[in-house]
């Protein structure tokens, strides 16, 4: 009996000692981290931040803890960078350290570290280089990306004309047009706006984004190992991704059966050709998993953000009719009514260019940015950030940094014009982030936003029953400031 009690006591002491050692090692790892609110056991700072308005919650914390601080979301410690100076110092001046993709548990469970968005190291370098080169080289023997956008803009105009000036919600048509551009680039196929497969694809993308931004989605990111096995609305996310995968896999199979290596039609063809070239390389990154995940990455990046920016842009221009009138005046002077707008027109339209810069700054469509991570333990501004730590470069705090932007909450295109009326660049204009890991689709998105917006304003006047002063241009609440409000608009032919 005494022996049993003695053994139990020794075991209890051993367990307590082991826990103490683990806590000591863990505390040493996180020693000298940037300051931040004291986390609670297990849940961290989740009670101190609103997970559905996270960007604004982090901006408020920066007022207390400074431009570099730490928050704990569940069991994940995150270093937050606030303001242009801190973001630029990390992502540009120290890009070799702040260059990894941060953990995104809601996606990691499904896609692992495959694809161009979630991967790191050599895999990311090869996939990004290939994707950029492929997008840049489009048009060699086939239609260029610009021609694909111009073609889709014509289909969109036809749909708008069919409304005959009646008010309607343009969410569906705008999202369909932008998504068709990426479909053309990836699949060499555009879909009719009534195609059932296409409608389901758009629905899956919309609902996936909505779920990720919901409370359930944020909790999934905070407690992935627990919530992955617990029923709830977040489980729909995995079904959506399965559905997307099935669609993409089917398209890849069709491409394999019809591939002409001498005449690649799209991104999938180019990737399949690269796979064949490297089939004898045991370390190749050009294989099926990276192909299907990269295609899904391009879909998400190429559909929702650009269409949301365009919808918000039209709403803002409704609220500021004088700005709208000056843009249309410049369109009439440079392009006229008898030809399709081209990318080259942008350099001849400084006022319109300034308006688009200000629209993107003001709309702030990705306020939190994509998560980064440090590739090695680093000392940054006197703080120690352990290898692998997730980093949020708060883009909203850059686009609206009062140190560099006067009255940042005010919509004012003149901030991007000099005294001669020419376009004036501003370093804070980074809606696609900065550094080596900025948005892969930045060039495509800028082209889409310009061509779609100018084509619409060339052909239509924007009408609304609301007084401009009553128009609400703030984003939907509880959407992490990334979803525009629904509204109706009347497009009257000019």
pLDDT at 19: 47
Q: How far apart are CA 311 and CA 170, in angstroms?
A: 7
pLDDT at 106: 77
Q: Is the pLDDT of residue 2 over 50?
A: no
Q: Is the pLDDT of residue 161 over 90?
A: yes
User: Is the whole-model pTM more than 0.85?
Assistant: yes
Instruction: Tell the CATH topology of 32-493.
Output: Cytochrome p450 (1.10.630)
Least confidently predicted of 391-405, 431-445, 476-490:
476-490
The owner of tokens 């401009």 is: 468
Rg of the chain over all Cα atoms, to the nearest angstrom:
25
pLDDT at 95: 94
CB atoms closer than 10 angstroms to residue 207: 14
Give 25-77 pLDDT, tens digit per residue.
555 556 799 999 999 988 999 998 988 899 999 999 999 999 999 999 998 99
Mean pLDDT of the chain: 90
**pLDDT bracket for residue 412 (50, 70, 90):** very high
pLDDT at 139: 52
Task: Give residue limits of the domains in the chain.
Answer: 32-493
Q: How far apart are CA 34 and CA 489, in angstroms?
A: 47
Say if residues 148 and 185 touch (Cβ distance below 8 Å). yes
Give 205-254 pLDDT, tens digit per residue.
888 888 887 888 888 888 888 888 888 888 898 899 999 999 999 999 99
Residue 194, φ and ψ in degrees, nearest 5: -110, 0
Q: Residue 119's closest CA among 130, 108, 133?
A: 108
pLDDT at 480: 82
Q: How far apart are CA 235 and CA 93, in angstroms?
A: 40
């Amino acid at each position: 009996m005494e022996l049993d009690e003695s053994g139990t006591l020794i075991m209890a002491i051993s367990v307590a000692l082991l826990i103490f050692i683990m806590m000591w090692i863990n505390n040493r790892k996180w020693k000298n981290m940037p300051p931040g609110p004291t986390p609670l056991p297990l849940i961290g700072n989740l009670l101190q931040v609103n997970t559905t308005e996270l960007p604004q919650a982090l901006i408020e914390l920066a007022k207390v803890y400074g431009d570099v601080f730490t928050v704990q979301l569940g069991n994940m410690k995150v270093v937050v960078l606030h303001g242009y100076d801190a973001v630029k110092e990390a992502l540009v001046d120290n890009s070799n350290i702040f260059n990894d993709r941060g953990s995104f548990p809601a996606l990691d469970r499904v896609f692992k570290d495959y694809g161009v968005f979630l991967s790191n190291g050599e895999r990311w370098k090869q996939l990004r280089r290939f994707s950029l080169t492929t997008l840049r080289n489009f048009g060699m023997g086939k239609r260029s990306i610009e021609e694909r956008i111009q073609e889709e803009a014509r289909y969109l105009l036809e749909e708008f004309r069919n409304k005959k000036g009646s008010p309607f919600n343009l969410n569906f048509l705008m999202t369909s047009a932008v998504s068709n551009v990426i479909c053309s680039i990836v699949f060499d196929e555009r879909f009719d706006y009534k195609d059932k497969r296409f409608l389901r694809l758009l629905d899956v993308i919309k609902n996936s984004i909505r779920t990720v931004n919901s409370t359930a989605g944020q909790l999934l990111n905070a407690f992935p190992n627990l919530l992955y096995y617990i029923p709830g609305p977040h489980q729909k996310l995995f079904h959506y991704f399965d559905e997307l995968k099935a669609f993409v896999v089917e398209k890849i199979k069709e491409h394999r059966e019809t591939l002409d290596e001498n005449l690649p039609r799209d991104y999938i063809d180019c990737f399949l050709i690269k796979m064949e070239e490297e089939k004898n390389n045991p370390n190749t990154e050009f294989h099926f998993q990276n192909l299907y995940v990269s295609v899904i990455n391009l879909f998400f990046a190429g559909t929702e953000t650009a269409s949301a920016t365009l919808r918000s842009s039209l709403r803002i221009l409704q609220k500021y009719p004088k700005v709208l009138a000056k843009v249309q005046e410049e369109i009439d002077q440079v392009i006229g009514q008898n030809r399709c707008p081209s990318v080259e027109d942008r350099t001849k339209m400084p006022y319109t260019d300034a308006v688009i810069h200000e629209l993107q700054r003001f709309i702030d469509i990705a306020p939190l940015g994509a998560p980064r991570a440090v590739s090695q333990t680093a000392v940054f501004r006197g703080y120690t950030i352990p290898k692998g730590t997730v980093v949020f470069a708060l883009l909203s705090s850059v686009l609206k940094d009062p140190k560099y932007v006067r009255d940042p909450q005010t919509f004012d295109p003149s901030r991007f014009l000099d005294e001669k009326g020419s376009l004036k660049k501003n370093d804070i204009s980074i809606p696609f982030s900065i550094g080596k890991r900025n948005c892969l689709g930045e060039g495509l998105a800028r082209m889409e936003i310009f061509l779609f917006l100018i084509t619409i304003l060339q052909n239509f006047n924007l009408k609304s029953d609301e007084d401009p002063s009553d128009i609400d241009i703030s984003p939907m609440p509880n959407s992490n400031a990334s979803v525009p409000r629904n509204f109706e608009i009347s497009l009257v032919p000019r």
